[in-house]
């Protein structure tokens, strides 16, 4: 498998395929690239577990992952700064300092 390159994520706009993460969430091409090359399926699992707890009242959720010295902070917000959940996952090998994912309805984009 190729090494994770964060700059490649900007090339994913839209998707050609959807990949099932669980019974309610699917991944796009970009999130699948992130999960596989950065070994970050854990990130998508954590985010999905929080999303399922939030319900579908909000049609848009922004997931922010900040990483510093292999420690991670995950926040879920509405895109306007209103935080609906946070998590401190166990240490990560992910080297990107920040990753943003958006969720529309039941889709991780």
Q: Is the pLDDT at 98 greater than 70, yes or no?
A: yes
Which position has the token pair 């920040």?
98
Amino acid 32: pLDDT: 92
Amino acid 67: pLDDT: 83
Amino acid 29: pLDDT: 92
Half-sphere exposure of 62 (CA within 13 A, CB side): 12
pTM of the model: 0.76
Q: In which band, very low, low, confident or very high, does the pLDDT at 6 lie, cut at 50, 70 and 90?
A: confident
CATH architecture assignment, domain 20-108: Roll (3.10)
Q: Domain locations in the chain?
A: 20-108
Backbone angles phi, psi at 66, to 5 degrees: -110, 135
Q: Is the pLDDT at 57 greater than 70, yes or no?
A: no
Identify whether the C-beta of residue 103 lies closer than 8 Å to the C-beta of residue 61: yes
Residue 74, token pair as written in the block: 């995950």
Which tens digits make up the pLDDT trace of 14-24? 889 999 888 87
């Amino acid at each position: 498998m190729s090494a994770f390159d964060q700059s490649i994520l900007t090339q994913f706009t839209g998707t050609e395929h959807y990949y099932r993460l669980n019974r309610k969430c699917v991944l796009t091409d970009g999130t699948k690239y992130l999960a596989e090359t950065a070994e970050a399926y854990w990130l998508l699992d954590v985010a999905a577990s929080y999303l399922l707890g939030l319900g579908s009242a909000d049609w848009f959720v922004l997931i922010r992952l900040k990483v510093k010295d292999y420690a991670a902070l995950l926040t879920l917000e509405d895109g306007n700064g209103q935080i609906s959940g946070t998590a401190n996952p166990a240490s990560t090998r992910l080297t990107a300092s920040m990753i943003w994912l958006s969720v529309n309805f039941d889709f991780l984009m």
